[in-house]
Each structure stands twice: as structure tokens, then as C-alpha cells.
Structure 1
Amino acid sequence: MAEINHLFTNKTSEAYSHLKIKNTTILLLFVLTVLMALFEGAGLGMLLPLLAFVQSGAPQGDGLLHDFMQKVLSWSEIFGKDYELVLLLSATLLVIMVRYFINYLRDARLARLRLDITRRLRKMLLGALLQAGLGYIAESKTGELQAGLTTECERAAESAAAKVAVITSGILIVIYISLLLLLSPLLTLFTIPVLALVGLLLNWQRKKSRNLTYSVSQQNMSLGNQVSETLRGITRIKMRGQQNATGKKLSETIERIFTGMLGLEKLRLLVEISMHPLLALAGLTVIYLAVKIIQVDMVILGVFLFILLRMAPQVNLLVSLWAYYNSCRASLERVTGLIRQAEACEEATGGGLSLSLNNPPEIKTTDVTFKYSGAKDKTYAIEDISCQIAAGSLTAVVGRSGAGKSTLISLLAAHHAPTKGRIEFNGVPLKEYSLSNLRRRIGLVEQNPFLFNSTIRQNLNFGRQTPLDETGLQNALKESGSLDFVERLEQGLETLAGEQGSRLSQGQRQRLAIAHSLAIDARLLILDEPTSALDKTSELIIARTLRRLAGKLTVVVIAHRLETVRRADLILVLDKGRLTAKGDHASLLQTSGIYRELFGD
């Protein structure tokens, strides 16, 4: 296997190392390929003795096939002389049927291998993405990841299966050449230049296809990203009348994929068609040399040509598989590249401590600084943030757009680790808590909360090991201010939320997100601008709910509305990534110009 891998690029070989294809699988495919070739040769080899029997009444020649046909004819003693031809025809048909049965086993094994590789790659990529840091996921393009999990995984599996088939066919061709050497080294020597031309042609095809296959893979990823973006922004596209422009952009990408695939197909056909004259040239050269120059015995010449003819289909198959491997290998490299990237960004699991379920946490930040990956040097999203949030308090984070509010709460929600500084819960650094346990104790309500396309009951219970009973669900709905509207729904808790919660209003989704936080026994509730897009009634319900929950939970909320801010125990004022002021509503109106600008009369 190590020697065979040198036939492929280092990058491609590294990609194949992820698949861990067993040598026994390659051996089994090789054995099936050899058996298929043997039975095909036997089936064809029986035709001449069979015709001789029809003409003379007795099989001609000697060897294994002759002995086999004699054995078949001996069965006529049971069935009668009149059935000799039927027996021979039946035996010939049986050999041909065995050949195609072996062909079926080989192709089924290859299909299983291809589907298994597809399954394995998808599981590996999904697993790596699920374990990757939230920062990596946020910075990745959703459409490209979707294309990687679908189209690209399938093409990658095609490439891997083709490589295995190339190896088995290649080994069989080597065996054929070895047999030719045993029969006549001199004749084989004269056929080597033709075989060398085949090798050069394959190498040329590999080089020519490289750019095309990488282009097709890139365009597949680009199409996935464009489709994802188009579907998410379809309302805006229609409102601006940009359907035709968007369709044109997508069509151009589809055309580039078509052009690349067509180029690969033309290249494959050109190489395959070129094989036939080359192999015919090899056969004719052998005949001329054997008759005119070397004067090889006709029996040896016949066997030599027979092996050469048996080798020809394998050479054609090898060429076809080689072309297919080259047309898809970029997809394998791209998918395994995604796996490596995601694995490199795997989240640390943290320590072994668990956040207490009994009391809400006290939070302390000391000189917390954070910079997003890819940001310019010395460009921090937040810098030197130090504050203390009392257990069970309601804290509002305010500031102009781009002040760093969302970055701060993402750090408190353990989405990222600070670049510098320290965050403590109950006096213990965040890194000493088990990350999975800590996150289960944090409820996060985003500006546009995500709900799964399942029932409200299932959404509320998501993440719980055992579902809440009716009383528990009713309490969570009541405390979050959701009970009234859920009871008004025709199917109540069994109502489907729709894709991303589309069947519910934004205010309803936010209240259900708060209910979910209560259902999972969250000790810290973090809200990202929960009332910015709500009407006055919904805003008031959310604001009162937060004030009511403070004490039971530690609540941190990014706020833009006075109704939420004035109820807070502590208000943090951020500007350009720094904490510029802190206090309550009344004191900040006196001491902070930014706060007065945002919330003053």
C-alpha cells in the first residue's frame, strides 16, 4: 500500500489516510477481479472446443478446458448421447453465469465501499463540526459546509472507491504482464513501449484534469453557499425585485460546474478512445514480430494474444477508473480538509467542576479582553472589562452599535474564551468548569431565537435527559409569560413551531426561549436585545418577566429600551469595546454622557 500511494499526490494520500480502508477489502476485490477474469477467459475459451464438437462430434485440443468438457460429456451416460450438445452448452452457460455472478459480487462490494466511505466521511465531518468551537462555525459559510456534507462527500467517496478499483485492476494487469513475460520475454519487451504510452497518456490525463476537478469542487461549494444565502434572503430579493439578477448569478455558477464537468468527461472519453488503437497496435506488433522476426511457435503466439486480449478490458477499465478518480479527488481533499480544520478548532472540554443547581451564580470579570480570529493586529472587540455581577441580580448591558455588547455576553455564555483576562463564576475561573455542564446551566435568548421544526413541548424539553411533566412545563410557561398564548393555540403544547419557529411571532419565540431556559434548570439567563423588535405590549411582558426571574436566576440582558434598563440592578455602559461607566439608571443619568444620550429624556 505504501508503494501504491506514491502514484498519488501527497495531499491526496493524506486525504485517503482519513478513510482507513482495510487491506482485506482491497484483497477481496482483487481476488474477485481475478476470478472474474478467469471465468470470463474460461467461458470464451470453451467456445472453440464447442464449435469443434459441433463439427466433428468430439472436443479438440488438450488442457484443463478439454478435460472439463470431457468430464461434462461423461454425464451423457446418465442422460443419453442425444444430450451431449445440451450438456456442453449448459456447462458453457454455467461458466458464463458464474463469471457474471462474481462480477455482481465485485461491483456490489465496490458500491458498498463507496456508500460506506460516504457514510464515514459524513459522520466524521459532522462529528468534527459538532465538536468545533462556536467561533469556527460562525466564521464558516453555511452553504459550503452543507455542500461538503452532501455533494462533496458523495464525490469524495466516488474518488476513494475508484482508487481502490484502480489498485485491484492495476495488480491484475501486473499479473497479466508477468504471464506474458513467462511466455515470451522478447515479445513482451516489444509491447512495453505501447504500455509506456498508456502510462504517459494516463499521466497527461491526471495533470490536465487537476485544475478542472478543483474548479468543479470549488464551484459546488460556492453553489451551496449561494443557494443557502438566496433561500435565507428570499424576502429581500423579492422586495427589491432582484429575482432575475439572483437567478443569473446562480445560473452562472451552474454553467461553470457544467463546463468543468463536460471538460472532465471529454478528457475521459479522449483517453479511453485512445486506448483502443494503442492496444490494437500492441497486438498487431506482436503478430508481425512473432511471424516475421522472432518466429515464435504458433501455440505460444495464440496463448500470448489470448492473454493480451484478456488484459485489454482491464486496461480500459483502469483508464476509466483512473479518469473518474482524477475527476473527483479534489472533493476528497476538500472534505478531509474541512475535517482537519474543524478538528483543529475543537473546543476544550474545560475542567471537572459543575455549576451548582441550588443558587444563581455570581459573575466577576477581570481585565477581560477578546479578539476574534482573523481580526487585524491590536484590534480587540472588547478590552480590559472588569466588573462584578451579583448573584440573582438583573444586569443590563448598554451602548452604541459596535460597542462590544454581544461579544461580552458571548464570553459570559462560554461561547469563547477570553484572549486575555479572566471570568469567574462563584469565584472559580470559567476554565475549571466542565464546558458541557456549564452551558447546560446557561439559558441564552437571542434577538431572533431559534426553534426546531417540532412541537412546542419538544422544543421546551430539548437538552433534558428526562422530559418535564405537565406541571413542570406549566410552571416554566407561566414564569416566562408564555402560558396565555400557548393555551390559546389550538393544539397547545403539541403545536408545531415551524422551520426556525416561523409559525410563531418573535415575541412568542423569545418568551418560549425563556421558558426553555427555565425548563432546563438554567442558573444564568442571558438575553441579546430581546425587546428591540417587539411591540410595546410584548416589550412590557418581557421586561416584567426578567424582573420577576431576577433572584431565582442571574439575568444579564443587552437592552435598548428604557422599560428594560430602568428595572436593572446594575447597568454596564460599553463604548468602543471598553467599559466606560456602571451603576443604576438614576446614577448613570448624572455621570455618563453616553447613557444620557441613549436613555435620557
Structure 2
Amino acid sequence: MQNSRQILHSFSYFYRNRPLRLVGVFILTLLLGLNQGISIVMLIPLLSMLDKSSPASSHNQVADWMKGIGEKWNISFSLEFILICFVILLLIIALLGYLKSKWQSEYEQQFIHTLRSRLFRKIVLSDWQHLTGKSRHTHIQILSSEIPKLSVYYFALMNLITSLILIGANIALSFLVSVKFTFLVLLVGGICFLILKKFILRSLSLGGLNIGIFRQMSKQIDDFWTMVKQAKVHNAEAFYYQKYSEMNARMFSLQQKQNKNRALSQFVFTITGIIGLVVIIYTGYRVDSMPLTSIFVLILLFGRLFPLFTSCNNYLDMMATNLQSVNLVIATDNELEDKFFGELSVPPANGLSGNIRFEDITFAYRSGTPVFEKMRLEIPNCAITGIIGQSGKGKTTLLDLLTGLLQPTEGVILVGENQLQKDESANWRQHVGYLTQDVCFVDGTIRENLVWDTPYKVTDAQIMEMLSKVNALDIVLREKEGLSAKITNFQYHFSGGERQRLALARILLRFPKLLLLDEATSALDKKTEGHIMHCLSVLKKEITIVFVTHRESLMPYFDQIIDLDALVVKSVKSIN
């Protein structure tokens, strides 16, 4: 019962997307089924005409009905006329089949495309706390492997409904040939489905296991690439291979079980159908003394109905196998708030002037333990403020509050006289530059990596000037193609210090009014660190800088130090 509700819910999920096109597909399917059935029923008068030895009393009621229509409208049902009608029906069937296939394929591909885009937009626009509270591998799996399974499920669902419509149309027409034997065919089909119910339930269970194993395999691959250098240095490749090999063996075993379950269900269905067909033919000929023409048409109808029953079984198996994937996608889609990219403005710089003040700020993560409680502090404008403290004291949390990624549980954050509001945080971040200890680059040119997140148009001359300021110009000049040089696997293309300097140049090319640095010089040597700190000391005339660090060598560069261990603010002599 629960699985039936899930299938109905999934259908309504599809129906919300372009319902008129979906209704159009069903109408075409119904017309296709009716025409296919009529084309077979038309064989009855054709066979009756050819069977001259058969007495008139043995003619089927369909033939008599068509003969009556011919007499009423003065139409002669000759062999030529029936064959022409038969060909026209087949042409109509071919055309309807083409349109149905075209419309259904377009609907399916458009639905998957729209769903991918909507889900990824929801993920990237999720609140920071919600996003970091979820496994990235789950989201990667949904976008890469589970959504395509939705396409398989949709194909099975649409074709199941198609098969049911065709079964209904053929059954309605087969009643015109023989009521009792139509019920007998339905009885055979019903028995088959009752026998195969356990196979469908097993497919449902195996499909759920498939999701979990695939996620673990993806995580193991990601773990290897994260630790690849250490694995190589420590000769630990066998450890990662063994873990992946074990999971791969589990996946192989699971797929074998799925294939065996599917093949066995088809075998049982086929055997049951063969037995049912033999019983129908024997009963019709020996017991009911039906004419050969009617028996032949019954065999044709059974030959159409039984494959439809078999198809229904296959489609149900496909749906059961992928139902857990569909539920996972739908649950994720319903869980995430549907947001849209708004027009981001770059506020006038003079609107950001003034000190940043934390007024009675309390903040706690979902664990409930407050990181800050009634905290009051002030960050002076156009100065360098250092943030120090032991791990777990909230240094990075403080920066996240400044960016607006996190919202205080209580209290307000003021920039000058303006309160930092949640709905204005996106525009506020247009003037914020944030550099973490772990920097990343995308596959692309050096130029693309330096300007992809700036809200301004930046020239090559400005890029080269900024690279010179942070002592990173030589990194670009050594490349044969300069700024157009392609970067792949950035962590092996540049050293740690080079990545840090390039990342700092990228942040400064945003021309921020607030610069947040989280252990930003940890990968630099003392000489390069001194060069960059001197550069920041010059930039502080126009920028408010907040620097999280454990390095005591940086203390002389700070105008103010906030010690989160004791929530003490210390003023120190600044470097001019």
C-alpha cells in the first residue's frame, strides 16, 4: 500500500511538469491502442469472407455487425475494400506511434533537464548552515546518478500506463469476439501478477541497497584523491584499492541478484502464459466448439495481450528498482527552499564606512551550545584587526557572522550606523573578500581563476598589477601562455605558497571594502609573508582587514588584536 502511494505521488510529481503535454501523450496512447485493436478485429470479417466453407451461422457477431453497416450505407465489403481500410489503419497506427514516441521523449528529456537545473540552483542557494549540515556526496550522487535513474523510472512509469491503456483497449475489443475467453485471459494475467509480487518487492529492496553502495563507492574514490599524495608517500595504495575492491565486489553481487531476480520473474511469467494459451485454445476448440476464425483472432489478441502483461511486469520491476532513487530526489527537492538568483547590486562604497560593531551577539549551532554569548566588540574601519584564540573558540565563526553566512541568534551587527540584515547580506558580500587557508581553483585559464568571482570588469593590466603587489607575477610569467595558460589539477600545478599568493590576488581583484583572511599566510615563507603583510598595511588605508592567525610574527602588523580566549581587545602600534 505504501509503495502504491509512492508511485502515485511520483506520478503527480511528473504531472506538475507540462501537464498538457503529458495528457497529450496519454491521448495519443489511447488512440494508438484503439487503432491497434480495431486493426486486429477487422481480420474477423476478412477471414470470414475467405472461409467459404464456414456456414453463415458460425460467423462472428463482428462480421455480422459490419455486414449490417454495409447494407445500411450501401457499402460493399469486398476483399479489396477491407484490405484498403486495413492498410489505412496501419498507417494511422504508424503515425500515432511516431508522434507518441516523439512527444514522450521530448517530455522526458525536458523534465530531467529542468529538474537538474532546479535542484542544483536550490543547492547552491541553500543557507550556509543547511548546506554544510548535509553530506556533499549525497548531493553529488543525486545530481550525477540518481536523477538519470529518474529518467529510467519515468520511462517505465509512462510505458506501464501505456501498456495498461493498450490492455484496456484490446480487452474491450476482445469482448466482441468472446466474453468468456477474455475473462480467461484476464484470469491468467492476474495469476501471473500474484505469483510475481514477491519478485517486485525484492527489486524494491535491492534498489534501495544500490543507492547506499554507490554512495560509499563514490566517497572512497573522493577520499583517495583527497589523500593521494600521502597514500603515495606511505605506499598505502593497497589500502585504498582493498576498500574499493570490497565495495566493488558488493556492487557486483548486488547487480547479479538484480539480474537474476529480473530474469527469473520473466521466466515464470512466460511459462504461466504458455500454459494459459494452451488451455484457451484447447477449451475453445474442444469444449466451446468455436469457429477456427474466432480461435485465430483470439490467438492474435492473446499474442498482443500477453506481451503487454509481460511488459507491465518488466516496467514494474524497473520502477521498483529505481523507486528509492526517485524518493530520494523528490525528498531532496521538497526539502530545499526554491530560491532564485536576484539582481545583485554593488552598494556605494561610502555606504560601508564606519566601524563594525557586535552588539550583544549570541550565536549557537544546532548542537545548542553557544559559541558566543552576549558578545560585544568593535572592529575599526580602515585598520588591521587580528583574531587569535585556541581552536574551537569561534574564530572562523566570527568571520562567517561578518560575511552574513551565519545569522546571530540574538543581538545585531552594525556597519557604521546600518544594521547588517539577512535579506541584504548578498549585496553586503559584494564588498567582502574572504580568503581561507585551503584555496581552490577550477579547471580553466589562470585569468578565469583570478576574476570569476569579481563583480567588476577587470583588465589584464589590472590583473598583472595586482599579481605584482602580492609577489605572484613570476608565477604567471613563467607560463608560456601567460594568463591564458590552462590549469588542471591545480594542487599539483602550483606549490602551496603559489596557490596562496594567487588566491590573495583573486580576492583583492574584487576590490573589497572588508577583507577577511583565515590563516591566509600559513603556506608562505617569512620573506613572502612579510612582503604581503607590507602590501596589506598599505591597502588598509582604504580597506578594513580582519586577520585570523596563530602566527606571533604577524602581531606587529595588527592595529588591534581580539583574543577570543578571554574576549579581550588589545590595541597595538600599527605599521605605517
TM superposition score normalised by structure 2: 0.84
Q: Indicate yes or no: 2:466 matched with 1:473.
A: no
Distance 2:233 2:455 in 1: 44
For 1:150-549, list aligned pairs within 5 A. 150-291=144-285, 293-294=287-288, 296=290, 299-343=293-337, 355-358=347-350, 360-373=353-366, 375=367, 377=368, 379-431=369-421, 434-464=424-454, 467-483=457-473, 485-500=475-490, 502-549=492-539
Q: Report deviation, 1:46.
A: 7.1
Once the two structures are superposed, residues 108-144 of structure 1 have per-residue CA deviations (whole angstroms, 9 ceiling, x without a partner) of: 5544444333323321221111111223333333333
Q: Secondary structure at the match of 2:264?
A: helix
Partner of 1:580: 567
Give the direction of change, closer, same or farther, for the CA distance of 1:41–1:353 in structure 2 (3 Å limit).
closer
Whether 1:10 and 2:5 are equivalent positions in the alignment is: yes
1:329: how far off?
Answer: 1.5
Deviation at 1:41, TM superposition (A): 8.0
- Residues 331, 573 of structure 1: CA spacing in aligned structure 2 closer, same or farther, 3 A cutoff? same
The 1-side partners of 2:538 and 2:376 are apart by 27
Instruction: Please tell me whether the aligned partners of residues 29 and 162 of structure 2 are also in contact (alpha carbons under 8 angstroms).
Output: yes
1:166-197 deviation digits (Å, cap 9, x = unpaired): 11111211222233344433333444432321
The aligned counterpart of 1:138 is 132
Cα separation, 2, equivalents of 1:25 and 1:161:
15
Contact persistence 1:144–1:225 (CA under 8 A) = no
Give distance in 1, aligned partners of 2:474 and 2:26.
68
The answer to whether the Cα contact below 8 Å between 2:500 and 2:523 also exists between their aligned partners in 1 is no
SS at match of 1:206: helix
Unaligned runs of 5+ in 2: 54-58, 68-75
Q: What is the alpha-carbon distance in structure 2 between the residues aligned to residue 28 and residue 159 of structure 1? A: 20
Q: Using the alignment, how far apart are the partners of 1:342 and 1:400 within structure 2?
A: 35
Preserved contact between residue 455 and residue 510 of structure 2 (Cα < 8 Å): no
Amino acid in the other structure paired with 1:117: F
Residues 245/510 of structure 1: CA separation in 2 closer, same or farther (3 Å cut): closer
Aligned to 1:78: none
In the TM superposition, 1:590-601 aligns within 5 A as none
* 3-state SS, counterpart of residue 566 of structure 1: helix
Residue 121 of structure 2 is aligned to residue 127 of structure 1: yes
User: Aligned pair in 2 of structure 1 residues 158, 456: CA closer, same or farther (>3 Å)?
Assistant: same
**What is the letter of the counterpart of residue 70 of structure 1?**
E
Instruction: Classify 1:27/1:309 alpha carbon distance in 2 versus 1 (closer, same or farther; 3 Å).
Output: farther
- The share of aligned pairs that are identical, in percent, is 22
Q: Match for 2:443: what amino acid?
A: N
Compute the displacement of 1:102 (Å).
5.7
Count of residues in Structure 1 that have an aligned counterpart in Structure 2: 555
Distance 1:489 1:531, change over 3 A: same
Q: CA deviation at 1:583?
A: 0.6
For 2:507 and 2:475, the matched residues in 1 are separated by 18
1:354–1:482 CA distance, 2 compared to 1 (3 A) = same
* Aligned-pair CA distance for 1:68: 7.9
The residue aligned with 2:70 is none
After superposition, give the CA deviation of every residue in 1:310-338 in whole Å (9 maximum; x if it has no partner): 21121111111111111111111112222
Distance 1:298 1:403, change over 3 A: same
The amino acid that maps onto 1:407 is T
1:269 match: secondary structure: helix
Matched AA of 1:186: K
Looking at structure 1, the residues matched to 86 and 183 of structure 2 have their Cα atoms a distance apart, in angstroms, of 35
Could you report, residue by residue, the CA deviation over 1:215-242 in whole angstroms, capped at 9, with x for unpaired residues?
Answer: 0022122222221222122112222322
Determine the structure 2 residue equivalent to 1:566.
Answer: 556
Provide the C-alpha distance between the structure 1 equivalents of 2:437 and 2:505, rounded to a whole number of angstroms: 15
Mapped contact 2:208–2:324 kept (Cα < 8 A): yes
The one-character-per-residue Cα deviations of 1:469-514 (angstroms, maximum 9, x if unpaired) are: 3443344334444445544544333233443464233333333333
Superposition TM-score, scaled by structure 1 size: 0.81
- Tell me if structure 1 keeps the 8 A contact 2:30–2:169: no
1:445-485 CA-to-partner distances (Å, cap 9, x unmatched) read: 11122222222322232234552234433443344444455
Does the 8 Å CA contact 2:384/2:559 hold for their aligned counterparts? Answer: yes
Partner of 2:71: none
62, 70, 87: which is aligned to 2:80?
70
What is the identity, as a one-letter code, of the residue corresponding to 1:122?
Answer: R
Q: 1:280: how far off?
A: 2.9
> Does the residue aligned with 2:328 lie in a helix, a strand or coil?
helix
Distance across 1 between alignment mates of 2:118 and 2:340: 16
Q: Is the partner of 2:561 in helix, strand or coil?
A: strand
When residues 11 and 523 of structure 1 are mapped into structure 2, their CA distance, relative to the original with a 3 A threshold, is farther
Aligned-residue offset at 1:94:
9.6
Structure 1 alignment gaps of length 5 or more:
1-5, 74-87, 588-601
Kindly tell me: are residues 132 and 460 of structure 1, through their superposed partners in 2, closer, same or farther at Cα, counting changes over 3 Å?
same
- Partner deviation per Cα, 1:490-548 (whole Å, 9 max, x = no partner): 43332334434642333333333333333223110000101222211221122212212
User: Counterparts of 1:267 and 1:436 in 2: how far apart (Å)?
Assistant: 52
Does structure 2 conserve the Cα–Cα contact (< 8 Å) formed by 1:369 and 1:380?
yes
Change in CA separation of 1:242 and 1:505 when aligned onto 2, cut-off 3 Å:
closer
1:349 and 1:436 in contact (8 A); partners too: no
Tell me the equivalent position of 1:590: none
**Structure 2 CA distance, aligned partners of 1:26 and 1:199?**
27
Question: 8 Å contact 1:364–1:427 — kept in the other structure?
Answer: no
Give the superposition deviation at 1:397: 0.4
Distance 2:18 2:423 in 1: 40
In structure 1, distance between residues paired with 2:465 and 2:573 = 34
**2:214 aligned counterpart, secondary structure:** helix
In 1, are the aligned partners of 2:189 and 2:306 still within 8 Å (CA)?
A: no
Q: Secondary structure at the match of 2:558?
A: coil
What is the alpha-carbon distance in structure 2 between the residues aligned to residue 192 and residue 8 of structure 1?
24
